[in-house]
Structure 1
Amino acid sequence: MATDIELLELFREELKLCKVSTGQVLIVLSEGTTRADYARAFLGAATLLGAEAFQINLPPRTKMGIAGEVGRTPLAGNRPAIEALKAADIVIDLVGLLFSHEQNEITASGTRMLFVHEPFDVLKKMFPTQQLRQRVEYGEALLGRARTLRVTSPHGTDVRYEMGQYPVMTEYGFTDTPGRWDHFPSGFLLSQGNDGAVNGKVVLAPGDIVVALRRYVASPITLTIERGMVTHIAGDGLDAELFRGYIESYNDPRAYAVSHIGWGLNHLARWTHLSTTRQGDSEIGVNGLAYYGNVLFSLGPNTELGGTNDTACHMDIPMRGCSLYLDDTLIVENGVVVDPAMQPA
């Protein structure tokens, strides 16, 4: 466990990357006693940088939704808190507002937002840099120009996305521009196929990670995709049964919608992390989401990209050893990023 001094020093460096300075207003949004040490350290770090800092602490939920339902937050309907957050320069989100209408409203006002959830050792090991930002933003330009995206793999994946309807979202671990959301730490980028314009087959192979299940795939799961929806889930092993059961438990047909697609660029993230830790509510699983060369396939909500699907079922699936093409230009080859501009120095 980190000491208060270690947290204070790390968070001060993070807030420097976010360009928090004298005269700015920083609000820490928290829930009950969860991450109270993080809240104290962020308030102290902001004060050292000359910002006006205070905390909004919401009553705790009876059910935490990080690993399950997304987009349902204790902030919903709390207009005084929402308006206060909209008036801040930056919000430190210790609650988990991603995919929520409340987050979209707050960032649309120009408030930047930083989501912090991972344990101290992950925050420290994957601490963001300007070089990581440059790699991610280079990828952003490539993905933003693309009109098609194709993913293949030796295991049988071959899926094609028509692109251009949705923006590109980047995550490099800090936010210094108005209205920007980011996740500390991270290191990947993503977008989404046009509505109804994703078709093909995705084969989840041994070693791929189903983040919601906190599990490596051990036996293949084959997803048939037609017009942006998973229409069939095939597989004989426990993995396929768990996958089907998890989605079915939401009783929401929108959970089968194909959501974002992108690739990981953080060489400090480790694919093996899930196997060496006991992840609980203390981790989102950012090592899996961001590890270098993964292709990040997703099902479920798309509100973070401006879409209308706000299903509570979200499935992030970082896949190993895949190849990704933008307009037939090879970007990731068998899990290796090929463009030198996106390779670490």
Structure 2
Amino acid sequence: MKRRNFVKIVGAAGAGSSLMAIPASADPLVSTTDDLNARPEPPSPLVAHCKRILEQNLLREGELFIVATPMVFDHDYLLALLTAAGEIGATGAHISVFPRINSAGQYESALSAWHWNAYAEADLLITSNLGNDIGLPGASTAYGNKVGDHPYRTDFEAINRPGHKTRWLALGYDVPRQQRYFPTAERRERTLRGAQLLDETRGELRVVSDAGSDWRCSMEDRPGHAQYGIADMAGRWDNFGYGCVACGPNEDTAEGVLVLQPGDIITDLHPQVLEEAVTLHFEGGYVTRVEGGRRAQEFEALLNSYNDREAFGISHFGWGTHENTQLGGPGDVGHYHHNKEGSLLYSLGMNFGHGLGGAGAGYSGLGYSSRIAPNHTHFAMFGCDVYVAGDRHIEAGVVSPEAGGST
């Protein structure tokens, strides 16, 4: 790559806080022009990779781009991202959010209305935890929380809603995984079809399996939700590289039995992949009984540890549409269980304020879901059948084209 003048790039990209990554001059408090221009350039392939992400999320010349991270971040990746934004001709800033340190020396989130007011001005907002290997609080609030000065229930809803200007991408994973999971137009189209199926139906969903599962819920008046890894519409939020269809069922409607089998996944247990069956009984929207051996006891103990009945309540339900996710090691479980084509993703606990959703937000968001809980506990099942308003759209883990399947 031809060497650039990084003073110009920093000015064009608005990356003031990336100065943390610049070598110090003789005076450690001063960075000179020579210091800036001596900064090693990010590798050309990494800049090209980041530029591809930005262009896929429709960043254009003259748009306002904000990337928000904790104060510990991957300097090389961030510099590549800002360089790519500068090449596109965007303006904006890197916001490096520092935490509050309490009297016990612990880090606490210091996010404020100021941060959310800034984020809401962006045409494209990227929040990322890349390089935060010491576990600092993130650069955005979890859904369910509100620190911003706005009329919406949560900070998530203030941005992820019809009528808002910001496209919001949560960017994670190391570069090899980013390349493996990279969004495609074909996956986007399929996933949107699945979300539209749910959105147009807004009725009963049923899960059955050869192992004995027979479970129902209703999503009446709740939108279909699509994650295809791209924030390409105003008001849309997504996780980079994802592929799934989901909904926030009516909180009191989950009924029946789910029988998790060996190979299914409960992400908050260790190991996460089950080696024995766990049976969950639902009544009135809640898990009321957990049956099985040691792993069932561990799961029940986990849910009881929250000391809140809402921790047992259904949060969201859906299925994966990603044809290229793999379970090669522990670092793959998060993406695999959430997105593997034909996997069924469930969550118990919090679903409050996860975006208002619907067609006006690009089918991103769970609508007026209302469960407030101290947890958001995922589990995934494989090889099941799913019926949408009486029509079977997943058979033994194979997703129909109408529901977002690739075959």
User: Aligning the two structures, in what range does the TM-score lie when normalised by the shorter sequence?
Assistant: 0.7 to 0.9
Task: State the shift of 1:263 in Å.
Answer: 0.9
Match of 2:180 in 1: 125
Q: Is residue 179 from structure 1 mapped to residue 235 from structure 2 by the alignment?
A: yes
1:171-230 residue CA offsets vs partner (Å, 9 max, x unmatched) = 001011111000001101100222311111111111111123361011111111111111
**Alpha carbons of structure 1 residues 221 and 186: separation in structure 2 relative to 1, 3 Å:** same
1:89-138 residue CA offsets vs partner (Å, 9 max, x unmatched) = 11101136442432222334432210112222211101001111100011
The answer to whether the 8 Å contact 1:114/1:181 transfers is yes
Aligned pair partner of 2:296 in 234, 240, 249? 240
1:21-60 residue CA offsets vs partner (Å, 9 max, x unmatched) = 0111111110021334433232222111111131111124
Aligned pair partner of 2:67 in 16, 28, 43? 28
The answer to whether the 8 Å contact 2:191/2:403 transfers is no
Q: Is residue 320 from structure 1 mapped to residue 377 from structure 2 by the alignment?
A: no
Q: How does 1:266-305 map to 2 (within 5 A)?
A: 266-270=322-326, 273=327, 276-279=328-331, 285-303=334-352, 304=354, 305=366
2:194 & 2:110 partners in 1: Cα distance? 33
The answer to whether the 8 Å contact 1:87/1:111 transfers is yes
User: Relative contact order (C-alpha < 8 Å, sep 6+): which is higher?
Assistant: 1
1:89 & 1:261 partners in 2: Cα distance? 30
1:18 & 1:277 partners in 2: Cα distance? 29
Percent of aligned pairs sharing the same letter: 30
1:4 & 1:278 partners in 2: Cα distance? 28
2:381 & 2:210 partners in 1: Cα distance? 12
The answer to whether the 8 Å contact 1:128/1:186 transfers is yes
**Alpha carbons of structure 1 residues 138 and 83: separation in structure 2 relative to 1, 3 Å:** same
1:74 alignment partner AA: S
Higher mean alpha-carbon deviation, 320-329 vs 52-61, is at: 52-61
Structure 1 runs (4+) greater than 4 angstroms displaced: 60-63
2:330 & 2:123 partners in 1: Cα distance? 35
**Alpha carbons of structure 1 residues 269 and 154: separation in structure 2 relative to 1, 3 Å:** same
The answer to whether the 8 Å contact 2:341/2:405 transfers is no
Match of 1:14 in 2: 53
TM-score, normalization: structure 1? Answer: 0.87
Q: How does 1:46-65 map to 2 (within 5 A)?
A: 46-60=85-99
1:341 & 1:231 partners in 2: Cα distance? 30
Higher mean alpha-carbon deviation, 185-194 vs 87-96, is at: 87-96
Specify the structure having the higher radius of gyration (Cα). Answer: 2
Q: What number of residue pairs does the alignment pair up?
A: 325
1:253 alignment partner AA: R
2:100 & 2:279 partners in 1: Cα distance? 36
TM-score, normalization: structure 2? Answer: 0.75
1:61 & 1:34 partners in 2: Cα distance? 17
Task: State the shift of 1:259 in Å.
Answer: 1.2
Q: Is residue 230 from structure 1 mapped to residue 279 from structure 2 by the alignment?
A: no
* Structural RMSD (CA): 2.2
2:54 & 2:101 partners in 1: Cα distance? 31
Higher mean alpha-carbon deviation, 283-292 vs 142-151, is at: 283-292
Q: Is residue 44 from structure 1 mapped to residue 87 from structure 2 by the alignment?
A: no
The answer to whether the 8 Å contact 2:251/2:313 transfers is no
The secondary structure found in structure 1 opposite 2:177 is helix
The secondary structure found in structure 2 opposite 1:175 is coil
Q: Is residue 107 from structure 1 mapped to residue 160 from structure 2 by the alignment?
A: yes
Task: State the shift of 1:285 in Å.
Answer: 1.0
Task: State the shift of 1:298 in Å.
Answer: 1.6
Higher mean alpha-carbon deviation, 182-191 vs 105-114, is at: 105-114
Task: State the shift of 1:75 in Å.
Answer: 5.4
The secondary structure found in structure 2 opposite 1:245 is helix
The answer to whether the 8 Å contact 1:117/1:284 transfers is no
Match of 1:194 in 2: 250
1:131 & 1:92 partners in 2: Cα distance? 23
